[in-house]
Amino acid sequence: MLVTERLELWRPVAGDREGLRTLIEPGEVRRFLGGMEPDDHDVFMRLLRNAGSWSLYGYGTFIVRERGKADIVGSCGVFHSWRGFGRGLDDVPEAGWIVARGAWGKGYALEAMQAALAWFEREHRAAPTLCMIEQGHRASEAVAAKLGYSVCDRYEEEDERPLIVYRREAALLTLARSPGGKADLAS
């Protein structure tokens, strides 16, 4: 588990399925997630993909909770991605964050991602990471910029909103700290 001043970042477990469903159920949260619907199959596959990243690569997204609380307020971290886009956008570490609607505006995505990226670089290597944000998602674009990501590509499919691809070199991490944004590794 990673601990920040306000958050706990946990490796996912099977019991997180319902909390993950609750996290992504509101339409406002799914607005920039490619239009997916959180049915039982999708939620289970999302949890399995994340568990698979942890199992095969030793990293994945964390389940985010406020310190000392049980409810899931986010899913944030670096996972291993293979989206089928080609052009160097497959088989790479990809950063991503989803924050519960009730936790928007609190800086949780930035705080959790600063901790997750610092942990990833310390434990796995100082490798570049990508993140993909649907065009027009201003809040995520702002988080990406504060984390040191810059636009490197664009991916478009017919009848879908374009994905803007961002890249971050590990050495460029600038910790735009939120109050108490320093992460400590807890046992």
The residues spanned by each domain of the chain are: 2-185
Percent of the chain residues past pLDDT 90, beyond the cut:
51
pLDDT value, residue 157: 77
pTM for this structure?
0.85
Q: Is the pLDDT of residue 178 over 50?
A: no
Whole-angstrom Cα distance, residue 23 to residue 17?
10
What architecture is domain 2-185?
3-Layer(aba) Sandwich (3.40)
Q: Is the pLDDT of residue 6 over 60?
A: yes
